[in-house]
Chain A
């Protein structure tokens, strides 16, 4: 009996090799904010329901022939990633606002597969992926992807709960302990992401959580600490993890004569190793609970930097009033701030409630190889989609402009809170940087539609009925009455 158990244990151990690695990275940004990123990676050499570390719901997702996933990326984000000040997010997949989903299938994608997938994900992550109506196909990295966005849904505790549930140690040990919803959802920008890849015979899942904290908001001081930002500490490492690291990026060395920018890392006797401006700390080896901080001893109040360095590309999408009241101009400007030409592709989708006037569409500023493709939408079904490929010369701008008409909708087509406006998901800019595909998102737009006063129909009905009743009543009265002459009675004389 015992030997059988022992054998099965050895056999089980050899048959499947899985691993779990986690890391936390913090990076001070030039405007006093701090970028905090968590990565939890679980790999398994086989996709089998007898899994040790790999989350079972994801195994079921990968094994389902009806869904047929090859690769999947999803993110749930709130706030706006400010590329001009913060440059690029630590995780290239993040940076959007609202829900974003990229999926590539092993064979052709069909509506059935898509429906099954979005419903499964909605159930798994407590979000309504199924309300997305702008799914479209994009060719990227030699694969066909289905891409969908929902701008109006923001993540909250109920979305973090299923992410934590996928971790081998949940939030009870290791870096998962730091996932404090009250702090993460208070951040200026926060994003929960998941990437699912197939490897040779197995699979890999990366769970990424990134948040931009603002320590200067509380008392105008730049100093920050892991404890202060997340209000938690790592007390014990996750015993199931193969590695558990903290990369605490240090601020740049201050320039000569700028004593107020001098900083120190506390506590001085931390367990980490300082290397290339990063405190590298191994949670598995560390004996003390995680508590690292950066303190500026000569800085009373944080002053905002007078000049900031720009990222290689800047993108802006604005909504400008059009020549007629029901129209609006959407202008997208992509600026190349570098000394080299840069090849980019850009796409966005606009809900069917807002209709483009294609004869007003213009692109300016690209080299001769500029190409674009419109896919027209269909009322109540498909949004309008635009895809542009262009090369932007050094230090110049690419401008894409088009007039849109805000449609008058039928009564039942208005959303319940239509007075808030219609959300337009962020536009996506794709480019290659350091041999890696990078994403850069515009801000989402909120468009006011011509919204009727919904009590109006009732008012109209009531007023019309009243008028008709009065008119009809008096006419009917006149028509049916028989008029007769009544002889005047002579008054009896009294005298």
Chain B
């Protein structure tokens, strides 16, 4: 999922990735520094550039809820915070071992559906999201969304109550199941789109084939608006739209809120350019910094998923 949304243009600074296991560099991994999601070993998910924000013992229910609600200790660096606002679309993706209304963390803790529902409501009150897509891939995943009560949240779970989520196939060389069926077909669906795609969430949900996935994905859309009017790229892709205005239009570039969201270096550049822009009366305005409004929180408890 990390690779897929990176490919569709969401920058690392907008992704919070939590990995409790060191799969890539564990000495038992036959392919150091690599994680494969298919037995053909063509696509390395870890790649050569990856930023993991929470790892090891830091992946706890407490930290997960802190990231969602934004209630961190004072010292927490910006890269570990979800800096979203009321214009942000948030994608929340959870995978791991779970069951009826719970998801396991680190073999010692559980996150339950009420915690998720309350944390999301907390986010709504604090204006931390505009729309939210909550995907969970675990056994009985749809039950995690049972308690949700905040508006503009769409929840998709890989399997209904009483169903297991099975791995798609096993890599005999490593000896484990490498990818979950639901994630496999979701990534396939995402690989067909680019950041300008017109495909909608309704198309995405229609693409699920319960025979292939070996479980029935559960969708809870009663809190969300019209699925056929929401683009898939609103959650999975980042676009920077730069419009070039005709030379006779007079504009003054105001370094405003949206520009603040670019990192410091770019910000400096914009300020330096300001003088030049005024004199030549020609300007390129950063119209809509769309990408700064898409945040993703990926929580991957274990890429190696067996049925529970």
A contact set with B: CB distance below 8 Å: 1, 56, 78, 115-116, 119-120, 122-124, 126-128, 130-131, 152-158, 161-162, 164, 171, 180-182, 184-186, 415-417
Contact = CB atoms under 8 A, between A and B. Distances in A.
Given A123-B76, A131-B56, A156-B33, 17 more contacts: A120-B75, A123-B53, A123-B79, A126-B53, A126-B55, A128-B54, A128-B57, A128-B58, A130-B58, A157-B48, A161-B48, A161-B51, A182-B34, A182-B48, A186-B33, A415-B57, A417-B106
A296 B135 CA distance: 57
Interface of B: 22, 24-25, 31-34, 46-58, 73, 75-80, 106-108, 264-265, 279
Given A119-B76, A182-B33, A157 B55 contact: no
A284 B56 CA distance: 42
Main secondary structure of the interface of B (DSSP, over half): loop
Contacts of B52: 126, 158
A164 B47 CA distance: 14
Contacts of B22: 154, 156
B58 A181 contact: no
A1 B279 contact: yes
A416 B108 CA distance: 6
Contacts of A158: 50-52, 55
B55 A116 contact: no
A266 B77 CA distance: 49
Contacts of A186: 32-33
Given A161-B51, A416-B57, A185 B76 contact: no
Contacts of B25: 78, 154-157, 185
A11 B77 CA distance: 35
Contacts of B48: 157, 161, 171, 180-182
Nearest to B12: A161
Nearest to A115: B75
Contact of A181 (B33, B57, B77): B33
B77 A120 contact: yes
Nearest 5 pairs between A and B by C-beta? Answer: A123-B77, A156-B25, A119-B75, A186-B32, A416-B106
A161 B32 contact: no
B198 to A, nearest CB: 34
Contacts of B53: 123, 126
5 contacts: A116-B75, A120-B75, A126-B53, A156-B46, A157-B47
A182 B32 contact: yes
B233 to A, nearest CB: 26
A184 B56 CA distance: 21
A452 to B, nearest CB: 13
Nearest to B76: A119
Contacts of A171: 48
Contact of A131 (B31, B46, B58, B77): B58
B12 to A, nearest CB: 9
Contacts of B51: 126, 158, 161-162
A123 B106 contact: no
A417 B22 CA distance: 13
A290 B55 CA distance: 36
A139 to B, nearest CB: 27
A214 to B, nearest CB: 13
Contacts of A123: 53, 76-80
Most A C-beta atoms less than 10 A away, residue of B25, B34, B48, B80: B25
A128 B56 contact: yes
A185 B50 CA distance: 14
A161 B24 contact: no
Given A56-B265, A415-B57, A416-B57, A119 B77 contact: yes
A156 B24 contact: yes
Contacts of A154: 22, 25
Nearest to B49: A161
B33 A185 contact: yes
